[in-house]
Amino acid sequence: MPPKADINKAGWEQSLGDNPFIRMSKQEYGRSCGTCARPFTVFRWNPGSGARFKTTVICQTCAKIKNVCQTCLLDLEYGLPTQVRDTALGMQNEAPTSDINREYYAQNMEGKLDGNKSGLDSGRAASAGKEMLKQLARTDPYYKRNRPHVCSFFAKGECKRGSECPYRHEIPVDNELAHQNMQDRYHGRNDPVARKIMSGHAETQGLKPPDDVAVTSLFLSSLPATSTELSIRTQVLRSLPSIQAIQLKSIVHVEKTRCAFVNFKERAVAETAAQAWANGLEIDGERVAVKWGRSKPKQPANTSAPSASASAIPTATTS
């Protein structure tokens, strides 16, 4: 008689056999979603000979909410991390991150999603942000993400399988990119890969952060004649949803020369703004150029009053 089936293993993933043409397996309720913690159907497959197995890590609902891949968590339209996309398009992350509310949020969003339509609305996104994403989008295939994982035994000097080892015999590099979190990648926060991409793009656009860490201002030039301090402030905060108004120190609008200085309280916030505005900032329907402010000139030690010809960056707060 055949062995009696174990009811505790009902629904577990079964072997697909030795057929080399069958590479994908399906396991219903195989694991909990990495974002909403609800059980979902897991797909697992081998993308090619010698490659590592790929698997889905989030459910379809969470993937549709952010319009990302269920496996790599990259944006489906541009193939970029969500932090890069949200920063360029000025999108606010509305999904809750606490364990108490994230499952409830996912259940409500599941009912609002219509078919395969994404819950992401980027129709009103600025053209400068879309142009930035088109420049950063990867157009050629990228097969490195399919490579096998690094052999942990080789890293310890204990692997004895040699060429028969299915893993890579390389010493892992311990840098910032090696420490990534699934929650941060999905919600677009503190993603080291996104920071590397945005900082590199900002440097190519002439927005390399100055060596003087005391510089926390950005200079806007060629403003529309109809621009006011209020319209500039509104657009600055709208284009940077992750930055609160309290982090903005002041905005000095020079109407005569049609320019403005945007002063932030912290250097990190100014760098984030420079990365988001690498292709310019749209104010009142026109794109304006963005540059870093200059360092304040050092005052002579024998004079107490500031020099009248000093071209320091204005940092006075305005009402």
What is the domain-level CATH number for residue 258?
3.30.70.330
When comparing pLDDT for 312 and 174, which is higher?
174
Residue whose C-alpha is closest to residue 187's, from 91, 269, 272, 115: 91
**Total structural domains in the chain?**
2
Residues 25-48 have a mean pLDDT of 87
Provide the mean pLDDT of the chain. 80
> What string of H, E and C letters represents the secondary structure of the chain?
CCCCCCHHHCCCCCCCCCCCCCCEEEEEEEEECCCCCCEEEEEEECCCCCCCCEECCCCHHHHHHHCECCCCCEECCCCCEHHHHHHHHCCCCCCCCCCCCHHHHHHHHHHHCCCCCCCCCCCCCCHHHHHHHHHHCCCCCCCHHHCCCECHHHHCCCCCCHHHCCCECCCCCCCHHHCCCHHHHHHCCCCHHHHHHHHHHHHHCCCCCCCCCCCCEEEEECCCCCCCHHHHHHHHHHHCCCCCHHHEEEEEEECCCCEEEEEECCHHHHHHHHHHCCCCEEECCEEEEEEECCCCCCCCCCCCCCCCCCCCCCCCCCC
Q: Whole domain around residue 223: which residue ranges?
A: 206-292
Query: Is the same domain home to 37 and 116?
Result: yes
Query: Is the same domain home to 251 and 115?
Result: no
Query: Is the same domain home to 271 and 142?
Result: no
The per-residue pLDDT for range 262-310, each reduced to its tens digit, is 999 999 999 999 999 998 888 888 889 999 988 877 766 655 544 443 3
Q: Is residue 308 part of a domain?
A: no
pLDDT band of residue 112 (cuts 50, 70, 90) is low
Domain termination site, one of 201, 230, 261: 201
Residues 9-19 have a mean pLDDT of 51
Q: Is residue 269 part of a domain?
A: yes
Residues 131-142 have a mean pLDDT of 84
Positive or negative torsion for Cα 85, 104, 112, 116: positive
Instruction: For residues 33 and 113, give the distance between their C-alpha atoms in angstroms, rounded to a whole number.
Output: 18
The per-residue pLDDT for range 61-84, each reduced to its tens digit, is 889 888 999 999 999 989 999 999
Indicate whether 101 pLDDT > 80. no
Lowest mean pLDDT among 143-147, 210-214, 273-277: 143-147
Q: Is residue 302 part of a domain?
A: no
When comparing pLDDT for 52 and 17, which is higher?
52
Q: Is residue 88 part of a domain?
A: yes
The per-residue pLDDT for range 193-208, each reduced to its tens digit, is 999 999 999 999 889 9
Domain termination site, one of 150, 176, 201: 201
Lowest mean pLDDT among 53-67, 133-147, 244-258: 133-147
Query: Is the same domain home to 125 and 266?
Result: no
Query: Is the same domain home to 9 and 81?
Result: yes
The per-residue pLDDT for range 154-169, each reduced to its tens digit, is 988 889 998 889 899 9
pLDDT band of residue 315 (cuts 50, 70, 90) is very low
Indicate whether 260 pLDDT > 60. yes
Query: Is the same domain home to 145 and 271?
Result: no
Query: Is the same domain home to 183 and 210?
Result: no
